[in-house]
Amino acid sequence: MAQPLRTWVDGREREVPNSIPAIRDALPEQRRAEFDQAINTAGVHEIHAVMRHWMLEAVPDPEADAYMDRLAREEAARRAAG
Q: Is the C-alpha dihedral spanning 33, 49, 63, 72 positive or negative?
A: negative
Q: Collect all residues with Cβ–Cβ distance below 8 Å to 5 and sequence separation of at least 6.
A: 15, 16, 18, 55
What's the CA gap between 12 and 51, in Å, rounded? 23
Strand partners, 7: 14
pLDDT (tens, 9 = 90+) of the chain, 82 residues, equals 567 788 888 888 888 898 999 999 999 999 999 999 999 999 999 999 999 999 988 988 888 889 889 999 999 999 999 7
Put simply, whether the predicted model's pTM sits higher than 0.85 gets the answer: no
What's the CA gap between 72 and 12, in Å, rounded? 26
What's the CA gap between 69 and 36, in Å, rounded? 26
